């Protein structure tokens, strides 16, 4: 257990340092998110009040596409110089390697989301600052769901020639429950609607989704990497 946690910390630190140096994934994801938010602000000719009704859907649509760009590189960056084979052959547990990869992708996606929020508020004239902490809690839960599933699919398709297309094609159908829950909760929060029983159910859905898919990924990752 301790070795796995140390492995996860080292892998996450290494991936974040590599990304800080190269900025490959975060530049692409942040640029994509900001451009889409700006373009959509000019594409929709609707009143400010109506923007609140679509705010959650718009925000998580952008976040899910940006997340696919980030998780796609989780394991493929280890392919040059057979680094992935060395990691698999090492004494480090596979679940520790996966956890480090997933956490690094999680941190990068959260950074992109936080960079996007000021642009979102500015161009759509939506007040998100008063509800930042509840919104951030939703972002954490939903983002972990996106990254843990995406990192697992990145490991599954790492040796596939068309992995850049395979990961999004497999990722989005699996993310339908978590995205719907995050969209509805975000829309209710930004619209200043009180948390209803339905919203409570969506919060439980996010938590259960994270627990179930995290457990499955950690259990299956050894078979996936060896395969």
C-alpha 90/C-alpha 59 separation (Å) is: 40
- DSSP for residue 93: -
C-alpha 225/C-alpha 71 separation (Å) is: 16
The string of DSSP codes covering 17-44 is HHHHHH-HHHHHHHHHHHHHHHHHHHH-
R_g (Cα) of the chain, nearest Å: 18
pLDDT digits (tens, 9 = 90+) for 93-141: 888 889 999 999 999 999 999 999 999 988 888 888 888 999 999 999 9
Higher pLDDT, 131 or 225: 131
C-alpha 90/C-alpha 98 separation (Å) is: 14
83 pLDDT higher than 90: no
User: CB neighbours (10 Å) of residue 148?
Assistant: 26
181 pLDDT higher than 70: yes
Q: Is 73 helix (H, G, I), strand (E, B) or coil?
A: coil
Please state the domain extents for the chain: 2-226
Higher pLDDT, 38 or 84: 38
pLDDT digits (tens, 9 = 90+) for 195-205: 554 577 889 99
- pTM score, whole prediction: 0.91
Query: What is the average pLDDT score of the chain?
Result: 86
pLDDT digits (tens, 9 = 90+) for 61-82: 999 999 998 998 888 777 776 7
Instruction: Tell me the C-alpha to C-alpha distance, in Å, between residue 27 and each of 19, 70, 109, 217.
Output: 10, 10, 11, 27
Is there a contact between 55 and 183 (Cβ–Cβ < 8 Å)? no
């Amino acid at each position: 257990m301790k070795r796995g946690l140390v492995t996860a910390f080292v892998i996450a630190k290494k991936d974040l340092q590599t990304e800080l140096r190269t900025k490959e994934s975060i530049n692409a994801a942040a640029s994509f998110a900001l451009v889409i938010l700006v373009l959509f602000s000019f594409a929709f000719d609707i009143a400010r009040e109506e923007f609140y009704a679509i705010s959650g859907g718009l925000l998580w649509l952008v976040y899910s596409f940006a997340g696919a760009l980030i998780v796609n590189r989780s394991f493929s960056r280890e392919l040059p110089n057979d680094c992935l084979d060395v990691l698999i052959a090492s004494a480090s547990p596979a679940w520790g390697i996966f956890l480090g990869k997933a956490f690094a992708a999680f941190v990068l996606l959260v950074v992109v989301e936080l960079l996007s929020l000021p642009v979102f508020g500015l161009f759509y004239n939506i007040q998100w600052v008063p509800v930042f902490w509840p919104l951030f809690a939703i972002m954490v839960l939903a983002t972990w769901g996106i990254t843990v599933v995406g990192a697992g699919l990145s490991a599954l398709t790492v040796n596939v020639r068309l992995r850049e297309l395979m990961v999004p094609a497999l990722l989005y159908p699996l993310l339908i429950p978590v995205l719907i829950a995050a969209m509805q909760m975000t829309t209710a929060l930004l619209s200043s609607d009180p948390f209803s029983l339905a919203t409570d159910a969506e919060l439980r859905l996010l938590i259960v989704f994270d627990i179930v898919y995290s457990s499955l990924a950690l259990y299956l990752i050894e078979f996936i990497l060896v395969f």
